[in-house]
Amino acid sequence: MKYKKHFSFAGLVLWLLFITEIAHAQTKDNVINFIFTSDVHFGLTKEEFRGKEKVPALEINKAMVQAMNTLSTKSTNIAGIDALIITGDIANRMENGVQSATESWRQFKEVYIDSNRLHKANGAKSELFIMPGNHDMSNAIGFHRPMKPNKDAASMLGIYNLMFPNNQVSKFDSSLTRIHYSRDIKGVHFIFLSLYPDSAERVWMEKDLKNISLSTPVFLFAHSVPDVEPRFFENPNGVHDINEEDKFENLVPERYKDGRDVKGETTIEQNEFADFINKHSNIKIYFHGHENWTDYYTYTGPKKNIKLTCIRTDSPMKGRISLKDEKKLAFELVSINTHTGILTVKEVLWNAHLNSNELGWGLEGTYNLK
């Protein structure tokens, strides 16, 4: 009898250990963690950073990546980082003595590929997903103010070739080498867009979403804010080119519909995007940069007929708030429990302690994806 009792207790202990291990594995499988940032702007300098003046983007981005890396090396509750996502403006526009896009892309690779130590829960290297910003595109196709050189497509080519390794190109063509793609990560569908979900991007998205279940949460990532600026669209005037008088930038292939002035509204364009969102109810969150501060808000469209959760992030070089207070420099840590459908986003204040890599925490938001 004593023997049976001892055997039963030992078996119970082993069983509990087994169940705990399975639960732990399931927990890791049910959680997606990714870092989101934007507007890294290689080529710019910051007036002051950690007691130094005129600090280049190379040094500042290195410091931010070192802080990101701590999420994979410190003893935290984070099982692993599945991806690092950057929504554009890799290179700053080549105006006023700013370095070439070629040099900016070289520096980007040095920091975000060579110095990146982030890894997943299984030890594999974290994915890197990047998209272009308006500065990257303008460098490639030209701008209405002088640049030197006049054109340099290095960051656009670099992004394309990095994201499409099986379809390498040596020449950038904005109509042929469109940088948009999607990935499925643990039951969530990630869509990465070229600048803004304009009419051409929505046609592509319709095809992409055909095979996605309505029960699958979908995230959109783009550089532009949802209430897009007129200048992003193709010039509606004359021969529809980029010129000093009209100041349209021809960043997306859709021609501007709301008038002929770059200072106008984008009511038609936004309403068409809102109609698309209403049609696809499983699109849950829109992530973007461009305006350069941390903000979690609801976009309702011009007609106030949608409620799309938006997550906006800071820029290490052009932060609206962090430019005045470097302790507010931030990126976003997003965690999703795919079992419960709960997404949590936290603002990581990566320079809160200046010369230390100790992280601080700012805003936090929680959203139900079901």
User: What are the start-end ranges of the E strands in 178-317?
Assistant: 181-185, 188-192, 218-222, 283-288, 295-299, 308-312
- pLDDT at site 2: 36
Mean pLDDT of the chain: 92
- pLDDT at site 27: 55
217 CB neighbour count, 10 Å cutoff:
20
Q: Please give the Cα distance from 182 to 221 (Å, whole number).
A: 10
Question: H helices then E strands: how many in the chain?
Answer: 7, 14
Check whether 22 has a pLDDT greater than 60: no
How many alpha carbons fall within 13 Å on the CB side of residue 285?
Answer: 27
- pLDDT at site 28: 64
- pLDDT at site 161: 97
Yes or no: say if 110 and 60 are a contact pair by the CB < 8 Å rule. no
The ranges assigned to domains in the chain are 36-368
Topology adopted by domain 36-368:
Transcription Regulator spoIIAA (3.30.750)
Check whether 24 has a pLDDT greater than 90: no
Per-residue pLDDT reduced to its tens digit, 319-365:
999 999 999 999 999 999 999 999 999 999 999 998 777 899 999 99
Contacts of 169 (CB under 8 A, 6+ apart): 157, 160, 161, 177
Per-residue pLDDT reduced to its tens digit, 282-317:
999 999 999 999 999 999 999 999 999 999 999 999
Q: Among residues of the chain, what percentage have pLDDT more than 90?
A: 87
How many alpha carbons fall within 13 Å on the CB side of residue 33?
Answer: 20
Check whether 18 has a pLDDT greater than 70: no
Higher pLDDT, 18 or 110: 110
- pLDDT at site 286: 98
Yes or no: say if 301 and 326 are a contact pair by the CB < 8 Å rule. no
